[in-house]
């Protein structure tokens, strides 16, 4: 049986840590919550938060230096994930960021919120057979919380991007509740999934933006090798117009291609010798075959920061503070606001809350 979300006021009071430029915070407020406190170590990210959350107490400093926190119904945050990322060094035992969850845990033990929501990369679940994830789940349990976790793909909730992330949700044990994650709303309809909306097209999400926005995307100027390094050309970087984008990353050099770019084709492969490949641009434009009115880029380019923000589901007028590289870092590290909204709406309405003594956990 569903139960109510327990809060002290008319709106859930939310304490946000490792907030970045506010992807999770925007989702919180869209779902009816109120962010009262945000923190990040990046100056530009906090200046962005100040522009969009003027009523919140925003702290620009290392969270370990913050000794007191305000009372809140829920603590949320996406502690840095590079040590667990498939694109990172993946050696968490030697990376100090691995233990940043302990700062999130410390805040929980101080505030004693009724609920918490933590986000991390899906690699945390696989790495070392789940050892590092188990360490965190056990720690939250010892702190007095009933914990559930699940890897979600943002495209399953209407985000025009394939982006897998691990969500960990805790409920204080005295509430006798456990959180059950929302079912996907988008995807391919099957007998088991029921009627789903189609995946969102990232091409459609950005088609009204300038086709060549000078200064808003990474270019290798004055380089004899051209705009794309050999490493960049070692894989297909172009998602189809009508499909969700590939994952938006934080490094603007590795951002994937605008869907109006020509199709990339595999021209050379030596998988037996270091998994080396070479992809090159063809003269094909798959998106025009479906609709010749769509825009066309004669010269391929990476997505702009503004396009990445749109694909991440930030509002159309959203602009983070900082230079181009900083904008990409903030946008690429963010939780898609639309995904966050789906999670927090499911939580705040009580739709995802089940009596703990009747809940049968799914096999992870």
Percentage, residues of the chain above pLDDT 90:
80
Q: Give 31's DSSP letter.
A: T
Is residue 254 one of the residues assigned to a domain?
A: no
Is residue 46 one of the residues assigned to a domain?
A: yes
Query: Which pLDDT score, from 0 to 100, does residue 99 have?
Result: 77
Structure tokens, 145 = 């919380």
Is residue 62 one of the residues assigned to a domain?
A: yes
The tens digit of pLDDT for each residue in 177-222 reads 999 999 999 998 776 767 899 999 999 999 999 999 999 999 998 8
Burial code of 150-174, b = ≥16 C-beta within 10 A, e = fewer? bbbbbbbbbbbbbbbbbbbbbbbee
- Catalytic residue (one of 21, 46, 81, 308): 81
Structure tokens, 74 = 């829920």
The tens digit of pLDDT for each residue in 9-51 reads 999 999 999 999 999 999 999 999 999 999 999 999 999 999 9
Residues 6 or more apart whose Cβ sits within 8 Å of residue 230: 278
Our count of domains for the chain comes to 1
Q: What is the pTM of this model?
A: 0.92
Q: How far apart are CA 113 and CA 69, in angstroms?
A: 11
Least-confidence region, from 185-194, 230-239, 243-252? 185-194
The tens digit of pLDDT for each residue in 60-81 reads 999 999 999 999 999 999 998 5
The tens digit of pLDDT for each residue in 93-147 reads 444 555 789 999 999 999 999 999 999 987 775 554 568 899 999 999 999 999 9
Query: Which pLDDT score, from 0 to 100, does residue 360 have?
Result: 67
**Strand, helix or coil for residue 236:** coil
Is residue 278 one of the residues assigned to a domain?
A: no
Active site residue 21: no
Q: How far apart are CA 150 and CA 174, in angstroms?
A: 23
Is residue 353 one of the residues assigned to a domain?
A: yes
**Strand, helix or coil for residue 171:** strand
130: domain CATH number is 3.40.50.150
Is residue 72 one of the residues assigned to a domain?
A: yes
* ∠ Cα 43 315 158 (to 5°): 115
Q: Which domain holds residue 117?
A: 13-189+334-358
The maximal CA–CA distance of the chain, rounded, in angstroms, is: 66
Is residue 288 one of the residues assigned to a domain?
A: no
Is residue 315 one of the residues assigned to a domain?
A: no
Query: Which pLDDT score, from 0 to 100, does residue 130 have?
Result: 65
Report the 3 state secondary structure along 121-146: ECHHHHHHHHHHHHHHHHHHHHCCEE
Q: How far apart are CA 97 and CA 86, in angstroms?
A: 15
């Amino acid at each position: 049986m569903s139960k109510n979300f327990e809060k002290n006021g008319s709106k859930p009071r939310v304490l946000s840590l490792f907030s970045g430029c506010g992807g999770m915070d925007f989702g919180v407020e869209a779902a009816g919550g109120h962010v009262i406190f945000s923190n990040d170590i990046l100056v530009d990210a906090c200046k962005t938060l100040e522009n969009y959350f003027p009523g919140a107490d925003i702290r620009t400093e290392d969270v370990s230096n913050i000794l007191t926190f305000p009372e809140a119904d829920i603590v949320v945050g996406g502690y840095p994930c590079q040590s667990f990322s498939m694109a990172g060094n993946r050696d968490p035992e030697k990376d100090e960021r691995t233990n940043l969850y302990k700062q999130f845990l410390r805040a929980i033990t101080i505030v004693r919120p009724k609920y918490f929501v933590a986000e991390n990369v899906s690699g945390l679940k696989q790495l070392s057979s789940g050892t590092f994830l188990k360490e965190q789940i056990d720690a939250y349990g010892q702190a007095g919380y009933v914990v559930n976790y699940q890897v979600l793909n943002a495209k399953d909730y209407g985000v025009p991007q394939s982006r897998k992330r691990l969500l960990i949700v805790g409920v204080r044990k005295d509430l006798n509740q456990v959180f059950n994650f929302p079912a996907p709303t988008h995807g391919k309809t099957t007998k088991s999934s029921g009627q789903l909306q189609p995946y969102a097209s990232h091409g459609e999400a950005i088609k009204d933006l300038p086709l060549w926005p000078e200064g808003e995307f990474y270019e290798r100027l004055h380089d004899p090798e051209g705009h794309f390094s050999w490493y960049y050309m070692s894989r297909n970087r172009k998602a189809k117009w009508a499909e969700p984008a590939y994952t938006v990353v934080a490094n603007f050099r590795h951002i994937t291609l605008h869907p109006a770019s020509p199709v990339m084709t595999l021209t050379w492969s030596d998988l037996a010798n270091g998994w080396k490949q070479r992809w090159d641009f063809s003269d094909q434009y798959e998106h025009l075959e479906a609709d010749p009115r769509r825009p066309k880029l004669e010269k391929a380019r990476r997505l702009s920061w503004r396009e990445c923000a749109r694909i991440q589901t930030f509002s159309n007028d959203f602009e983070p503070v900082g230079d181009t590289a900083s904008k990409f870092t903030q946008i690429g590290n963010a939780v898609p606001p639309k995904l966050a909204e789906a999670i927090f709406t499911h939580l705040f309405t009580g739709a995802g809350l089940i009596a703990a003594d009747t809940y049968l956990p799914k096999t992870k």
